[in-house]
């Protein structure tokens, strides 16, 4: 009998470890700029720290995926969290004992970004090892709540604790990572085969040359869903940046802009809960993905004409609700189609595509802002990107025929 997720010890540990990792990342993302500014740093120094954080994660994505498939995944996660904790502790100690130089902040930012990037593919690839296929979509829906919860809690904690003393957010960050380290040390992952299945000898031979990504890119499901992921992420990041730009130009109060981002996080949390229910209703995966994209495009179009401030933030939250429904469906289908020996590479590939789209989004927003001064037209430009993605998904036979894993009578390792 399959163990319910709330009673699955290893799933709880994996979920908590990743949540704490994401929470630490959100704290660091705010605490580093605050520290730089507090010590007289320039805007370019703040931008440099943010660029190092994001750049390290992007550059490590593909190698981290290969590492997650070739090395024990639990060991990768534990070591990554330990390295991050030591790096953050060095900042806390330096701040407490004296001035923290910019070179150290940049170095720790690089370590934090790289180690966090190494952690993610190992965690994603480990999920099917502790959750049976029949519960995979449910687990992913619950996982989708983590980044939005971290987004709601992390920045607020960073700002509040920094206001009390500038060492506190880094002490808190170190503590969070240590707790994650200890929890993951108690994780039990079933043994797995390190090599690709026997039927994939040609792919295994090609793996050293191509890093193992060739077999992935030859899978229609992976190609179609990767194009969808990049397109949706590009449009979404373009939209969010445009909302902030337009709100700033219309003199929306900072407090209201903060509430808008709160709506965004709350919408994502609600979307994760909705995703779990929709998956339980056994709706067609293709319908969920394509339908959610069209809903997202329609809401983005409505945002162009919404009053600035909280009403616009509410629509942003509604748009965020559609994301977990589609994303969890896509990832479930990807994991079902990809053998265990390539799942780390899959996560690395998805991470790289998402990071590049997240980088291109603000650039696209800047281009739209340069082309027109009309805020509504700019937001409609982001909505048009979503229409293109939704139309492409509707026309794609692969996306229309996406399939979730079906419950089976196969033996699965114990999950208690």
Query: In this predicted structure, what is the pLDDT of residue 16?
Result: 92
Full-model pTM: 0.76
Query: In this predicted structure, what is the pLDDT of residue 309?
Result: 80
Query: In this predicted structure, what is the pLDDT of residue 202?
Result: 42
Query: In this predicted structure, what is the pLDDT of residue 414?
Result: 39
Residues 6+ apart with CB under 8 A from 208: none
Query: In this predicted structure, what is the pLDDT of residue 380?
Result: 93
Instruction: Quick: pLDDT tens for 267-282.
Output: 888 888 887 777 666 6
Query: In this predicted structure, what is the pLDDT of residue 339?
Result: 87
Residues 6+ apart with CB under 8 A from 201: none
Query: In this predicted structure, what is the pLDDT of residue 383?
Result: 93
Instruction: Quick: pLDDT tens for 327-348.
Output: 888 888 888 888 888 888 888 8
Q: Cβ distance 114 to 57 under 8 Å?
A: yes
Query: In this predicted structure, what is the pLDDT of residue 204?
Result: 42
**Regions in the chain scoring below 50 on pLDDT:** 194-210, 407-416
Query: In this predicted structure, what is the pLDDT of residue 338?
Result: 87
Q: Cβ distance 359 to 61 under 8 Å?
A: no
Query: For residues 178 and 165, what is the distance between their CA atoms, to the nearest angstrom?
Result: 21
Query: For residues 45 and 49, what is the distance between their CA atoms, to the nearest angstrom?
Result: 6
Q: At CB < 8 A and 24+ separation, what contacts does 372-379 make? A: 375/242, 375/245, 375/246, 375/249, 375/250, 375/304, 375/308, 376/304, 376/305, 377/304, 378/242, 378/245, 378/246, 379/239, 379/242, 379/243, 379/246, 379/300, 379/303, 379/304
Query: In this predicted structure, what is the pLDDT of residue 177?
Result: 96
């Amino acid at each position: 009998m399959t163990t319910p997720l709330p009673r699955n010890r290893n799933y709880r540990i994996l979920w908590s470890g990743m949540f704490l990792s994401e929470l630490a990342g959100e704290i660091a993302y705010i605490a580093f700029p605050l520290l730089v500014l507090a010590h007289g740093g320039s805007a370019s120094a703040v931008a440099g720290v943010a660029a190092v954080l994001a750049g390290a994660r992007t550059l490590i994505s593909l190698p981290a995926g290969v590492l997650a498939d070739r090395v024990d995944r639990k060991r990768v996660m534990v070591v990554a969290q330990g390295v991050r904790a030591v790096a953050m502790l060095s900042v806390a100690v330096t701040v407490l004992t004296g001035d923290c130089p910019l070179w150290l902040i940049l170095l720790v930012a690089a370590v934090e970004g790289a180690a966090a990037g190494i952690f993610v593919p190992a965690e994603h690839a480990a999920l099917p090892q502790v959750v049976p296929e029949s519960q995979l979509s449910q687990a992913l829906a619950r996982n989708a709540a983590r980044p939005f919860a971290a987004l709601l809690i992390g920045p607020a904690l960073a700002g509040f604790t920094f206001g009390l003393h500038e060492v506190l957010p880094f002490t808190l960050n170190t503590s969070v990572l240590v707790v994650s380290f200890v929890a993951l040390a108690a994780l039990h992952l079933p043994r797995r085969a390190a090599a690709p299945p026997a039927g994939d000898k040609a792919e295994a031979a090609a793996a050293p040359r191509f890093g193992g990504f060739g077999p992935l890119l030859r899978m229609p499901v992976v190609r179609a869903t990767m194009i969808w992921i990049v397109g949706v992420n590009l449009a979404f990041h373009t939209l969010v940046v445009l909302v902030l730009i337009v709100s700033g130009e219309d003199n929306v109060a900072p407090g209201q802009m903060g509430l808008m981002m709160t709506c965004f996080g709350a919408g994502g949390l609600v979307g994760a809960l909705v995703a779990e229910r929709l998956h339980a209703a056994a709706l067609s995966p293709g319908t969920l993905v394509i339908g959610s994209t069209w809903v997202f495009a329609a809401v983005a179009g409505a945002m162009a004409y919404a009053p600035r401030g909280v009403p616009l933030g509410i629509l942003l939250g509604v748009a965020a609700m559609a994301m977990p429904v589609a994303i969890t469906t896509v990832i479930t289908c990807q994991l079902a189609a990809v053998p265990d020996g390539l799942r780390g590479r899959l996560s690395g590939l998805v991470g790289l595509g998402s990071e590049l789209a997240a980088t291109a989004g603000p650039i696209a927003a800047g281009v739209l802002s340069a082309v027109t001064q009309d805020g509504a037209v700019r937001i409609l430009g982001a909505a048009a990107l979503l229409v293109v993605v939704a139309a492409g998904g509707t026309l794609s036979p692969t996306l229309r025929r996406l399939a979730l894993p079906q419950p089976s009578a196969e033996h699965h390792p114990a999950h208690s």
